[in-house]
Structure 1
Amino acid sequence: NYLLPKLTALLEKFSAPKQLGHIELVAADNGVAMLLRYTKNLAEIDRTLLLKFAEQEKLMLFLQSDEGIEQNYGDSPYYQFSDGIKLHFDIRDFIQVNRALNERMVNTALDWLELNQQDCVLDLFCGMGNFTLPLAKRVKNAVGIEGVFEMVQKAAQNAERNQI
């Protein structure tokens, strides 16, 4: 919420505000990620304003045109569980929006399952590894199944980053 007045002031300075589609803000554990969708070529002066704003506010800045999304400033957003697992995600990935509630949900499921190092677990629709990676730290073998190829790649990258 603290960003909204600053963002409004920034957008009032744009040379062609009608070319803007929408803005998405995502609160990650390593900062705020901002996606700005634009419908026509973004003027260089507007791009410069955005980059300065991202730097000042320490935002991860993503710009989306008809050609796709490009990251223009900052790191990859992630959220981190209390056990140290970091789940990196792209700005348009499906994520659980309430990180604290998500972690409680995962921990509750883990408690109910009463897993040990001899167990093998199958996680259907694993996404980027939200359940699979915390499971994998506690069991002999965890397999995540996912139908979206990009999310399979993201889960594999997250497993590698977390040395799982």
Structure 2
Amino acid sequence: MSDDGGRLTHLAASGEAHMVDVGQKNETVRTAIASATVTMEPRTLQTILAGDAKKGDVIGTARIAGIMAAKRTHELIPLCHPLLLTKVTVEIEPDETLPGLRIQATASLTGRTGVEMEALTAASVTALTIYDMAKAVDKAMSIGDIALIEKTGGKSGDWRRAAN
């Protein structure tokens, strides 16, 4: 991560990786929003929306998986701090133009470090769970467009992805 004048903050001067000391940072309200898509055959989307997937409620299960993943990001991504998240939401909306599902994950807290990785992890694991639960119907599904949409708070301030 680079938020220090272009310098990678997770690398020591000698090049080895280390966890950044955030102890002296100010606590601020921090929020991050990330997104992902799962593209699939139209019949797969209809199966999911009808609740007819053999493994059960695809959207509900994927939402829970994304929330759980955000809470465990520090166990999955090296050098991430364990965070006391105050809010995680996962929204999953059908999009027949894909065709498929659009995912938006939001993570928030009041703390000393950002929640971008938690939002990105939530969006990613949500997409992976959708794939897992519907792969019996459509192994050709594709996961894509995983991206940070915006983040607020912290020393570097607010940021928003430019519209395409």
TM-score using structure 1 length: 0.29
TM-score using structure 2 length: 0.29
- Structure possessing the higher relative contact order (Cα contacts under 8 Å, 6 or more residues apart): 2
Q: Which has the larger radius of gyration?
A: 1
Structure number having the greater helix percentage: 1
